Amino acid sequence: MEMQSGFSKKELSYMFDPTAFDNMKVVIEGALYDKDIDGEIVIIDRNDVINMAKMSRQFDISFQLPHHPVMAKIEMESRLANLAAELLSNALQEQHAGCFVRLGFSLEHEEEIDYQTIKAILQDTWGTDRKITFSVNQNPLEMKKTKSTLITVEFDRLITEDQMDDLVEMINFMMISLEQLYLLIFVQME
């Protein structure tokens, strides 16, 4: 029996529920856009990528505090094993359903900055069990000695839908980190 849409009930019954990745992405995106609308942050970039070669999903969204030069980024990644755990009924579902989250903070500066102090401040906020790395780029041929610094905070574990509230709360901690980095790097240098 055909339904009005032209599809049978059997054809319509194969739709998958949204994955944990999709659900977490929508919640984070919504929370950030609410803060953008309220004027607390400014969203400056967003990417939603499906990698067909590796069968993975990646999402990132970048923002900054209004009138502040430090940028923050939330990156989420769901790999083939994570997606398969949800779409296929098997024993792996509990262990692999979710995504990996990485945070980034980036800025451009001319003055030398104290990376150890920055690491200590971020560890106070994010914990000492997080992997915090720094990458500094500079063009040696440029007259102006501007450096680009990227600070990455990695959680090194799978994040699940059970931690959805923690993901939303993480946005507030990112805003605190943005303010701390701004004060340390740009205000104290003046």
- Dig out the tokens for 77 from the structure: 């990644």
Tell me, yes or no, whether 2 lies in a domain. no
What is the token pair recorded at 15?
A: 């739709």
Predicted structure pTM score: 0.86
Q: Are strands 131-138 and 99-109 parallel, antiparallel or unpaired?
A: unpaired
Reported as a single tens digit per residue, the pLDDT across 99-122 is 999 999 999 998 889 999 999 999
pLDDT of residue 50: 94
Judge whether 61 lies within some domain: yes
Share of the chain above pLDDT 70, in %: 87
pLDDT in tens, 19-44: 889 999 999 999 999 999 999 999 99
Mean pLDDT of 142-156: 91
Say if 164 falls within a structural domain. yes
Q: Helix or strand or coil: residue 160?
A: coil
11 belongs to a structural domain: no
**Rg over CA atoms, the chain:** 20
Using CA atoms, how far apart are residues 170 and 78, in angstroms rounded to an integer? 19
Show the domain range for 29: 17-187
